[in-house]
Amino acid sequence: MLPYLFSRRHQPTMKFSNFLFPESKTPEGDYGVIEESLREAELSEQLGYDVIWLAEHHFDGGCAYVDPTTFAAAIAARTTKIKIGFAVAQMALHHPIRFAEQIALVDNISKGRMIVGVGRGTAYNFYEFRGFGINPDEAHEMLLEVEDILVKSWTTENYKHDGKFWQLELPVLRPQVYQKPHPPMIRACSGLESTLEMAREGRPFMMNVQSDEVTKNRMNQYRETMSAAGHSDEIVAKNVEDSWVWRNIFVAETDAEAEKIGVPYFKEMRAYLQTNRDRMNTTEELRVQASGIVGSARNSLEHGVIFGSPDTVSERIRQAYETGVGGVIIHFRLGSMPYEVSANSLKLFAEKVAPNFKD
């Protein structure tokens, strides 16, 4: 442990979580990776992590279990304390009532451990939208409509909805959600404007991989915008506490070992994601992709991954800690990294990094 503790006045202990985002390069490898991911969830609970976050990606092996709702049920049955969240479920790919039922069921199985992380869907994997017959240009509008449906389906009887994408009549949702009035719902925000939209609405948010400087500036603007919108100091503090930032992390005993082992897996992971896009997106979709900035922070060694000894990783985590954000969503198993290697990193973080940020 470091010889000192980092402190944030009037801030609770920082939460740390494991982002289960397991890559499987071939169909033959899917079963093994899925089994190892369930073991990793159990290990995360044993090590004291706060949340298991689940992703959603389809058709490319980038996320072996593909469906976060089904996988959440499996994790709920094999754990007892750790919370289970989505980072994120792609709302354009789900029927809202089916999704509401699934969440209610897993919330009951887990006895109230669900966190419903929602987003519009992938920004660059256009083939995922095509596979479900969805127009990606409508994905954001669909997200907004789904959010409204979810809350009302969990809290309203004889609910009727007449929207752009869905026309629904729901006598009552069964089973009812375990958490009242409903499980916490949090939206992923890839850009500044969507973050400030959450601030104006007085809601927490999840931030994708960004540089430490961008994270600091965005958190400051998030607070300022929330206050300017008339939200009380207590509401601002609670939403900051309930917000999360994503970091890719690899911990080893020494900096040299972390660089030697972790960095190649990170580079290979990023290359594999881009290879899938080049292979499965159409020429026009690739042109649209090229017109934007495709995860510049996520692709760089400087900002996209934190690697090193426990002391080195703690120094980098301190940058996020001092912004006041409530928790870090940590992707430990980078790309095709073997389970035993990522499990060792998971243990080192829990035992030698996390204690530096406890009150």
Domain that holds residue 185: 15-357
pLDDT band, very low/low/confident/very high, at 291 (cuts 50, 70, 90) = low
The average confidence (pLDDT) of the chain is: 94
Give the rounded percent of residues in the chain with a pLDDT score beyond 90. 91
**Number of structural domains the chain divides into:** 1
CATH number at residue 162: 3.20.20.30
Within the chain, residue ranges assigned H as helices are 30-46, 68-78, 96-109, 126-131, 139-155, 192-201, 212-228, 233-241, 255-280, 283-290, 296-299, 301-304, 310-321, 339-348
Residue-wise pLDDT tens digits, 239-248: 999 999 999 9
The confidence score (pLDDT) of residue 288 equals 83
Q: Name the pTM for this structure.
A: 0.95
Measured in whole angstroms, how far is the alpha carbon of residue 354 from the centre of its chain? 19
Looking at the predicted structure, is the pLDDT value of residue 3 above 50? no
Residue-wise pLDDT tens digits, 4-59: 333 444 556 899 999 999 999 999 999 999 999 999 999 999 999 999 999 999 99
The confidence score (pLDDT) of residue 358 equals 87
Looking at the predicted structure, is the pLDDT value of residue 295 above 80? no
Residue-wise pLDDT tens digits, 308-327: 999 999 999 999 999 999 99
For the purposes of burial, counting CB atoms within 10 Å of the CB of 3, is it exposed (0-12), middle (13-18) or buried (19 or more)? Answer: exposed
Q: Is residue 3 part of a domain?
A: no
Nearest in space to 119 (alpha carbons), one of 72, 179, 57:
57
The confidence score (pLDDT) of residue 272 equals 96
The tokens 């960095």 sit on which residue?
263
The confidence score (pLDDT) of residue 1 equals 38
Q: Is residue 7 part of a domain?
A: no
Q: Are strands 114-119 and 15-20 parallel, antiparallel or unpaired?
A: unpaired
Q: Is residue 9 part of a domain?
A: no
Q: Are strands 327-331 and 15-20 parallel, antiparallel or unpaired?
A: parallel
In DSSP terms, which residues pair with 205 in a beta bridge?
Answer: 187
- Whether residue 85 contacts residue 106, with contact meaning beta carbons closer than 8 Å, is answered with no
Q: Is residue 21 part of a domain?
A: yes
Mean pLDDT on 59-79: 98
Within 202-282, residue ranges assigned H as helices are 212-228, 233-241, 255-280
Q: Is residue 4 part of a domain?
A: no
The tokens 């929207």 sit on which residue?
163
- Whether residue 114 contacts residue 183, with contact meaning beta carbons closer than 8 Å, is answered with yes
Q: Is residue 351 part of a domain?
A: yes
Between vectors from CA 316 to CA 268 and to CA 237, what angle results, nearest 5°? 115
Residue-wise pLDDT tens digits, 110-166: 999 999 999 998 888 999 999 999 999 999 999 999 999 999 999 999 999 999 999
Measured in whole angstroms, how far is the alpha carbon of residue 317 from the centre of its chain? 17
What's the maximum distance between 2 C-alpha atoms anywhere in the chain? 61
Q: Name, in order, each residue with C-beta under 8 angstroms of 282's C-beta and a sequence gap of 6 or more.
A: 126
The confidence score (pLDDT) of residue 292 equals 59
SS3 350: helix
Q: Is residue 8 part of a domain?
A: no
Q: Is residue 176 part of a domain?
A: yes
In DSSP terms, which residues pair with 18 in a beta bridge?
Answer: 52, 330
